[in-house]
Amino acid sequence: MFKGILIEKDDAGYRATLRDIEESQLPEGDVTVNVQYSTLNYKDGLAITGKGPVVRKFPLVPGIDLVGTVESSSHEGIAVGDAVVLNGWGVGEGHWGGLAQKARLKGEWLVPLPKAFTPKQAMAIGTAGYTAMLCVLALERHGVTPDKGEILVTGANGGVGSVAVTLLAKLGYTVVASTGRPQEADYLKSLGAADVIDRAQFSAAGRPLAKERWAGAVDTVGSHTLANVCASTRYRGVVTACGLAQGMDFPATVAPFILRGVTLAGVDSVMCPRADRLEAWARLARDLDVGKLDLITHEIALSDAIPAAAELLDGKIRGRVVVDVNR
């Protein structure tokens, strides 16, 4: 038996509970992992509360991230005792995930724990941090260098936003953090934001084109915010879109793209190919100030994860939440 969160949906309704789970219930896979830490991402919040259609199979253990040591493996190249990290691949959505003491997974999904990070630090980064790095890589690939001008990060107090601010500032970019929590301005400045602005200016329908300001952007919010960010991006600027915290819609016009040559670059972490994941983790090891990770992160016990999921969706949690699944 091991402890884990189980999501069920039946005549009694949709519910997540912490319970003892039989090892025989674990799904198929060629690697079994003793999980040390998992995390809470926005998607885990949706899965645990049932507020979004994230879970595709019931019952299911949520948790799109995990770090742990290999207990058994028949996968070539992965041995008992290896420290491994998992992000995405539909784990915590259609395959049992990390919010439990054990997980059974496909070896091809796993990446080695980078030597630069402890298991807890790897989860402080988690899918949110690795996605932030994918956004930075996309900006770089499209030629956005620090000398080009200001970079906007929306949802800056969230997990992706906090890591994006930290990474971009360390790389020498001038970062403007957009948030609905101006009381956290000192926190965002301690991560490296040069300026903190109120997200309200992006929240409602805007004009097709606005005053040009951003050389680049990391948008975690979607909806009107993404439309307004594109409208205020400078000639040939680049907007990376990875999130939908405001909404899935994109009520925009083509004006920024056809009149200012703005590039909208989509970022997906879930099915991202292994080579790009390894690059992102290698760059995190090189470019992330681990001292700042402590500022971004707080740790909770597995037993606290269910209430914390609701708080995350209510925008009450700052930065990243690491879950110690063994307490």
Asked if 115 contacts 150 with a C-beta cutoff of 8 angstroms, the reply is no
Asked if 64 contacts 87 with a C-beta cutoff of 8 angstroms, the reply is yes
Among 5, 6, 37, 43, which residue interacts with ligand NDP (rule: CB under 6 A)? Answer: 43
For the chain, what is the total number of helices (H) and then of strands (E)?
Answer: 10, 15
Residue closer to ligand NDP (CB basis): 21 or 134: 134
Task: Determine if 110 is a binding residue for ligand NDP (CB under 6 A).
Answer: no
Distance CA 234, CA 213 (A): 6
User: Within 261-290, which residues bind ligand NDP (CB under 6 A)?
Assistant: 267-270
Q: Residue 30: phi, psi to the nearest 5?
A: -100, 5
Q: Is the dihedral of CA 284, 288, 294, 296 positive or negative?
A: negative
User: Within 162-191, which residues bind ligand NDP (CB under 6 A)?
Assistant: 179-181
Site string for ligand NDP, 298-327 (x = CB under 6 A): --------------x--x------------
In angstroms, give the least distance from the CB of 44 to ligand NDP: 8
**Burial class of residue 279 in the structure, from the number of CB atoms within 10 Å of its CB (0-12 exposed, 13-18 middle, 19+ buried):** middle
Among 36, 38, 73, 127, which residue interacts with ligand NDP (rule: CB under 6 A)? Answer: 127
Task: Determine if 32 is a binding residue for ligand NDP (CB under 6 A).
Answer: no
Task: Determine if 221 is a binding residue for ligand NDP (CB under 6 A).
Answer: yes
Closest-CA residue to 237 (of 209, 203, 206, 204):
209
Both tokens assigned to 244: 């939908």
Residue closer to ligand NDP (CB basis): 26 or 284: 284
User: Could you write out the DSSP letters of every residue in 245-262?
Assistant: SSBS-----SHHHHHS--
Of the CA atoms within 13 Å of residue 295, those in its CB half-sphere come to 18
Which residue in the shown chain puts its C-beta closest to ligand NDP? 158
Task: Determine if 137 is a binding residue for ligand NDP (CB under 6 A).
Answer: no
| DSSP code of residue 240 | E
Task: Determine if 131 is a binding residue for ligand NDP (CB under 6 A).
Answer: yes
- The residue type found at 79 is A
In angstroms, give the least distance from the CB of 116 to ligand NDP: 21
In angstroms, give the least distance from the CB of 136 to ligand NDP: 14
Task: Determine if 233 is a binding residue for ligand NDP (CB under 6 A).
Answer: no
Residues that bind ligand NDP (CB under 6 A): 41-43, 127-128, 131, 155-161, 179-181, 199, 203, 220-221, 225, 242-246, 267-270, 312, 315
